[in-house]
Amino acid sequence: MPDPHPLTGQPFASPVPPGTGWPGDTADADTPVARNARDVARLARTADSVPELGTLISVCRACPRLVAWREEVATTGRRRSFAGQPYWGRPTPDFGDPDATRLIVGLAPAANGANRTGRMFTGDRSGDWIYAALHRGGFATQSTSEAAGDGLALKGIRIAAAVHCAPPANKPTTTERDTCGQWLVRELHLSQERLRVILALGSFGWDAALAAARAAGWQVPRPKPKFGHAATATLTTADGRAVQLVGSYHVSQQNTFTGKLTEQMLDEVIARVRELG
């Protein structure tokens, strides 16, 4: 039974079929679908641009457990307050400026956030934090991010994730992390000529960024740089350019509700990302 999109009112099935008009959906019924880790590696190599990579990511079905979970949440497992809305129920592609010099690497979409709205950090408390900070830092056109199609745009920065599908209990398995990490490796390949800074949210994002950099043939310091809020490390791309990796505590409610991460701390780290990029 289709439900109306909260902004456009257009009815959509859940999960949203590719190419049916969801705001920002660049895939269609002919977009090739990755069905296992080998497909991810193969298809990622066919992407010649960051937007093309996002299109491929948005229809990926390589991780059976995550596909089952994201679709279960999208159909029978919706949060009561969103029960009348369609749920994206597909992998959440990267969002932001395709020519950015700065890349944010988060953990994974939230089950009732990006898994519902189809856009990174959109429609949940974590998104309230990150987009408000990006707006204060001059990267986002607005401070809120409620639904795809609301006009939000990012300039000079893009948001990616270690894992593009919502995982049960926010915990991807090692295999899922490694499988999805191949999309991130391609992202680094495609953007390494302009990329200057990677902001890793949480230790999971930090480790994913380091692993992807290594797999992309970049030089990573040894011993492995340690994650911390405002920690930095210098990575070197395959063609010898320096990229600064900056850490931040994740904008999860666990950190923002408890005061482990304050607005000021996040603003300072975003200001550092602006300065370095």
Q: Which stretch binds ligand SF4 (CB under 6 A): 96-104, 133-141, 176-184, 243-251?
A: 176-184
Least distance to ligand SF4, CB of residue 189, Å: 17
Least distance to ligand SF4, CB of residue 221, Å: 27
Least distance to ligand SF4, CB of residue 172, Å: 7
* Cβ-based nearer residue to ligand SF4, 135 or 250: 250
147 lies in the site for ligand SF4, by CB under 6 A: no
8 Å CB contact between 218 and 234: no
115 lies in the site for ligand SF4, by CB under 6 A: no
DSSP symbols for 205-246: HHHHHHHHHHHTT-B--SSPPPP-TT-EEEEE-TTS-EEEEE
* Cβ-based nearer residue to ligand SF4, 40 or 188: 40
Q: Which stretch binds ligand SF4 (CB under 6 A): 17-25, 59-67, 150-158, 226-234?
A: 59-67
16 lies in the site for ligand SF4, by CB under 6 A: no
91 lies in the site for ligand SF4, by CB under 6 A: yes
Q: CB within 8 A of 276, min separation 6: which ones?
A: 102, 196, 197, 244, 246
93 lies in the site for ligand SF4, by CB under 6 A: no
60 lies in the site for ligand SF4, by CB under 6 A: yes
Least distance to ligand SF4, CB of residue 165, Å: 3
Give, as one character, the DSSP assignment of residue 136: H
- What b/e readout covers 242-270, taking b as 16+ CB neighbours within 10 angstroms? ebbbbbbbbbbeebbeeeebeeebbeebb
110 lies in the site for ligand SF4, by CB under 6 A: no
63: burial class by Cβ within 10 Å (0-12, 13-18, 19+)? buried
Give, as one character, the DSSP assignment of residue 162: S
Kindly report the length of the chain: 277
8 Å CB contact between 81 and 123: no
Q: CB within 8 A of 221, min separation 6: which ones?
A: 233, 234, 235
* Cβ-based nearer residue to ligand SF4, 66 or 111: 66
* Cβ-based nearer residue to ligand SF4, 62 or 273: 62
3-state secondary structure of 78: coil
66 lies in the site for ligand SF4, by CB under 6 A: yes
Binding site for ligand SF4 (CB under 6 A): 40, 57, 60-63, 66-67, 91, 163-165, 176, 179-180
